[in-house]
């Protein structure tokens, strides 16, 4: 496909707001793609250079891009900069100058998608001495061989501001439509996606092998599996009943989820976070232990990494564990505050996919490969089999007394359900027994300016949203105006200032108008007193018996001390469906108390 055709599709996508129209356009675009280019087209549409967990970045800062546009069009850098400041979008700036370029367009042939993508990857791979100059040169060549519309999208892609408004769920529906003419294959495609976390790969397999290839998808080393998630229930009785009278119960450690991929022969270990970022460098002691303490040639296992003091027998707070996110002092920290990994699942071992095996079988295999020993870094999560609510309740109380967050009950017969929140795992936390049943994680979609003493920070509060999986949209649920420290206000103001958008982002549904909109990117954990029904917010909005449109809102929301949840991306925010079931749970608990 010519890049100009792709740019034409992007322009069409930008001009529609209905999701169904977007799916139609994208399906047509994907149908037009050849087998060997569909992967790149999907990545490009997602705004990435490869599977997101590969973390490839072009490394082009604004200044560098301005210089490249200047070289490519023959105008002075200062003019480019002034125009960019005026219109606020470097892509449109590039388009404008490419339209009145003083130079002749480079190359006779119109560029193909593949060529453009290859150059972008080359730019990303350029590093070391003299790399800035080389990056500018390659980028300038790319712009010089583009027409104005192509330049718009090449520059936006490089700046990370493509913002076509297509989430993973929408892309999956478009793939379904491409293959079968309707959206019905979405859930089967999603299963494959949950196993490899790579939409480009799913698209390629579908296009080249059809649904046969999709049905035969299996786990592979170094491609992270999207994590299984837990549902909530408020009492031991309800959990046991849901599990069929018998289940495993494990301690719930409040650290950082880590998915470890290990290949002994290649001496290679990679660790992925809950939102599938590669975080290997953060955990040197776990990398070593994966090679020396696991009795298998290769494996993928999941656990919770947490700072643990062997001497006092105490778990450290989540904040201390997460400090590892900072790039500096990891080695010192790994010595002064070593982490333990409490492993709770096995996804793959010695060439075999374990996802389809029963929980008990996976747990037994884990016991065999994880060496016992007080000094070891990797341990299995503590667990029991509960046959009565009393067993579960006692184990829960003990976990709380040991300083843990609660328990996770697991269905003995269930397979590992990647990427979904199902009742085969049910969590019970101490907080369920008081006020709102749990904290919620909200995607920030906008923010407000401060008044009075807060004016100086340029920040007065957040507009928080939950994720509606069905609609692939972010729906607002609350404004958060209290509980911020000065430091947090400064941080939010600078962090959010960088991702402001001109209007409401395409995937945000809101009746509230904040001072500034931002792309859903950051997630914060929020505590509230209760969930109420409200006409102000779009979360779960529906018509009630009186004919009024009414949604859900949080009462007295305040941000919890950790602030940003770095291990979650916007789609990992609490979902509308969860809010609705928490609302029901909240009602039941209250009735129970009366
Ligand atoms: P939370 O804020 O409750 O951790 P979450 O959205 O991060 O929520 P959930 O699926 O709701 O994730 O809860 C499961 C999380 O608990 C896992 O992601 C994992 O990080 C953690 N965890 C700790 N111990 C266990 C365990 N034994 N089994 C499964 N998950 C565990």
Per-position DSSP letters for 109-137, written without gaps between them: SPPBHHHHHHHHHHHHH--STTHHHHHHH
How far apart are the C-alpha atoms of 429 and 404, rounded to whole Å? Answer: 9
- Residue nearest ligand 1's atom 4 by CA: 254
Neighbours of 169 (CB within 10 A): 20
As given in the structure block, the two tokens for residue 283 are: 């955990």
Ligand 1 pocket check for 467: Cβ under 6 Å: no
Question: Which residues lie below 8 Å from residue 289, measured CB to CB, with a gap of 6+?
Answer: 341, 376, 377, 378
Ligand 1 pocket check for 315: Cβ under 6 Å: no
Give the atom of ligand 1 at the shortest distance from the alpha carbon of 439: 2
Q: What per-residue confidence (pLDDT) applies to 153?
A: 97
Question: Which residues lie below 8 Å from residue 459, measured CB to CB, with a gap of 6+?
Answer: 447, 448, 449, 450, 484, 489, 490, 492, 493, 496
As given in the structure block, the two tokens for residue 226 are: 């999207």
Provide the CB-side half-sphere exposure for 53 (13 A, CA). 26
pTM reported for the whole predicted model: 0.84
Q: What is the residue extent of each domain of the chain? A: 48-159, 229-428, 440-593
Cα of 319 to ligand 1 centre, how many Å? 16
As given in the structure block, the two tokens for residue 228 are: 């299984």
| CA distances to 50, 261, 475, 542, 548 from 545, in Å | 48, 52, 22, 10, 7
DSSP lists the bridge partners of residue 339 as 307
Asked whether the beta carbons of 113 and 89 are under 8 A apart, the reply is no
Name the CATH code of domain 48-159 (choices 1.10.3260.10, 3.40.50.720, 3.40.640.10, 1.20.140.10).
Answer: 1.10.3260.10
Neighbours of 472 (CB within 10 A): 21
pLDDT along the chain (594 residues), means of 10: 96 92 96 96 96 90 95 94 94 95 74 94 91 94 94 96 91 97 95 96 97 95 97 92 96 94 97 94 94 97 88 68 63 73 97 97 96 88 96 92 89 96 92 62 93 75 95 95 84 91 92 94 90 92 87 89 82 95 74 37
Q: CA torsion, points 427, 431, 437, 441, in degrees to nearest 10?
A: -80
Q: What per-residue confidence (pLDDT) applies to 592?
A: 39
Under CATH, which number does the domain 440-593 receive? Answer: 2.40.50.140
Cα of 252 to ligand 1 centre, how many Å? 7
Give the atom of ligand 1 at the shortest distance from the alpha carbon of 256: 20
Helices (H), 126-215: 131-144, 148-159, 168-180, 186-196, 199-215
Ligand 1 pocket check for 252: Cβ under 6 Å: yes
Which residues are known to be catalytic? 252
Query: Which of 304, 400, 438 to mutate for ligand 1's pocket (most ligand atoms within 8 Å of CB)?
Result: 304
Q: Are strands 406-410 and 421-429 parallel, antiparallel or unpaired?
A: antiparallel
Query: Which of 232, 233, 250, 252 to mutate for ligand 1's pocket (most ligand atoms within 8 Å of CB)?
Result: 252
Ligand 1 pocket check for 362: Cβ under 6 Å: no
Q: What per-residue confidence (pLDDT) applies to 435?
A: 46
- 181-203 residues labelled b (16+ CB within 10 A) or e (exposed): eebebbebbbbbbbbbbbbbbbb
**Assigned CATH topology for domain 229-428:** D-amino Acid Aminotransferase; Chain A, domain 1 (3.30.470)
Ligand 1 pocket check for 526: Cβ under 6 Å: no
Q: What per-residue confidence (pLDDT) applies to 591?
A: 40
Cα of 591 to ligand 1 centre, how many Å? 28
């Amino acid at each position: 496909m010519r890049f100009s055709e792709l740019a034409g599709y992007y322009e069409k996508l930008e001009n529609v707001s209905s999701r169904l129209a977007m799916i139609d356009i994208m399906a047509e675009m994907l149908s037009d793609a050849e087998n060997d280019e569909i992967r790149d087209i999907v990545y490009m549409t997602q705004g990435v250079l490869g599977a997101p967990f590969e973390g490839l970045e072009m490394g082009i800062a604004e200044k560098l891009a301005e210089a490249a546009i200047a070289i490519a069009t023959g105008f002075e850098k200062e003019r480019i900069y002034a125009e960019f400041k005026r219109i606020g979008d470097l892509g449109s700036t590039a388009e404008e100058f490419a339209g009145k370029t003083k130079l002749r367009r480079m190359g006779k042939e119109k560029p193909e998608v593949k060529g453009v993508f290859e150059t972008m990857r080359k730019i990303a791979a350029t590093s070391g001495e003299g790399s800035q100059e080389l990056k500018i040169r390659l980028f300038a060549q790319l712009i010089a061989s583009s027409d104005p519309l192509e330049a718009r999208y090449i520059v936006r892609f490089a700046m990370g501001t493509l913002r076509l408004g297509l989430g993973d769920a929408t892309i999956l529906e478009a793939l379904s439509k491409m293959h079968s003419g309707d959206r019905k294959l979405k859930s089967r495609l999603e299963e494959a996606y949950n196993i490899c976390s790579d939409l480009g790969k799913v698209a390629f397999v579908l296009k080249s092998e059809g649904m046969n290839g999709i049905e035969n998808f299996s786990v592979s080393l170094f491609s992270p599996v999207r994590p299984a998630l837990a549902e909530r229930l408020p009492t031991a009785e309800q959990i046991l009943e849901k599990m069929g009278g018998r289940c495993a119960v494990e301690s719930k450690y409040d650290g950082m989820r880590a998915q470890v991929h290990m290949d002994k022969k290649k001496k290679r270990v990679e660790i992925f976070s809950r939102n599938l970022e590669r975080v290997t460098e953060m955990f040197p002691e776990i990398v070593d232990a994966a090679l020396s303490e696991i009795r298998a040639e290769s494996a993928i296992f999941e656990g919770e990494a947490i700072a643990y003091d062997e001497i006092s027998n105490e778990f450290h707070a989540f904040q201390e564990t997460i400090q590892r996110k900072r790039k500096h002092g990891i080695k010192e920290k790994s010595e002064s505050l070593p982490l333990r990994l409490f492993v709770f699942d096995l996804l793959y071992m010695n060439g075999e996919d374990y996802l389809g095996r029963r929980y008990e079988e996976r747990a037994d295999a884990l016991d065999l490969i994880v060496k016992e020993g007080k000094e070891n870094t990797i341990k299995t999560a503590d667990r029991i089999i509960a046959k009565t609510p009393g067993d579960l309740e006692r184990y829960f109380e003990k976990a709380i007394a040991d300083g843990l967050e609660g328990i996770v009950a697991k269905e003995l017969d269930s397979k590992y359900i990647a990427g979904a929140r199902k009742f085969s795992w049910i969590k019970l936390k101490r907080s369920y027994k008081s006020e709102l049943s749990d904290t919620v994680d909200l995607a920030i979609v906008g923010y407000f300016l401060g008044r009075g003493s807060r004016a100086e920070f340029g920040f007065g509060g957040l507009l928080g949203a939950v994720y509606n999986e069905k609609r692939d949209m972010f729906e607002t649920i609350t404004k958060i105006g209290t509980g911020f420290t000065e430091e947090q206000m400064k941080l939010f103001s600078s962090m959010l200032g960088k991702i402001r958008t001109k209007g409401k982002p395409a995937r945000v549904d809101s009746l509230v108008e904040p001072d500034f909109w931002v792309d859903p990117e950051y997630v914060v954990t929020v505590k509230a007193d209760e969930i109420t029904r409200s006409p102000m917010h779009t979360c779960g909005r529906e018509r009630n018996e009186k004919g009024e449109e009414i949604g859900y809102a949080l009462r007295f929301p305040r941000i919890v001390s950790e602030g940003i949840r770095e291990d979650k991306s916007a789609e990992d925010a609490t979902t509308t469906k969860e809010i609705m079931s928490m609302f029901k749970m909240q009602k039941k608990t209250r009735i129970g108390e009366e």
